Amino acid sequence: ELKVEQNPLFLSMQEGKNYTIYCNYSTTSDRLYWYRQDPGKSLESLFVLLSNGAVKQEGRLMASLDTKARLSTLHITAAVHDLSATYFCAVDPANTGNQFYFGTGTSLTVIP
């Protein structure tokens, strides 16, 4: 069974601090996506990582992909309150009928 696991599941951090969210997956996939979801809202695309070693940065968020380790990270630099949300990673493996498999989600709370 294909699994996409994120850790931590819950993260409470102070403004100005750095932290990393991890996404491990159990199948071969060259593509990985990161989404943000605010309470009661839909998913907002953050990053699309399309190859091994891909690194993308937007503001205080940076995502990377290691397809050999089947690991992606989402690094938060100098967190601010506006980053409070739930973050999901999703993989798009080959030969699965074009399904996206989502991780368990990481609920981030940034404390002023």
Partner 1 sequence: ETGVTQSPTHLIKTRGQQVTLRCSSQSGHNTVSWYQQALGQGPQFIFQYYREEENGRGNFPPRFSGLQFPNYSSELNVNALELDDSALYLCASSQSPNREQYFGPGTRLTVT
Q: Which residues bind partner 1 (CB under 8 A)?
A: 4, 33, 35, 40-45, 48, 88, 90, 92, 96-105
What secondary structure letter does DSSP report for 83? G
Q: Cβ of residue 103: shortest distance to partner 1, in angstroms?
A: 6
Only one residue has tokens 């009928």, namely 97
Q: Cβ of residue 46: shortest distance to partner 1, in angstroms?
A: 11
Q: How many residues can be counted in the chain?
A: 112
Alpha-carbon distance 44 to 67, whole Å? 23
For partner 1, which is the closer residue by CB, 48 or 77? 48
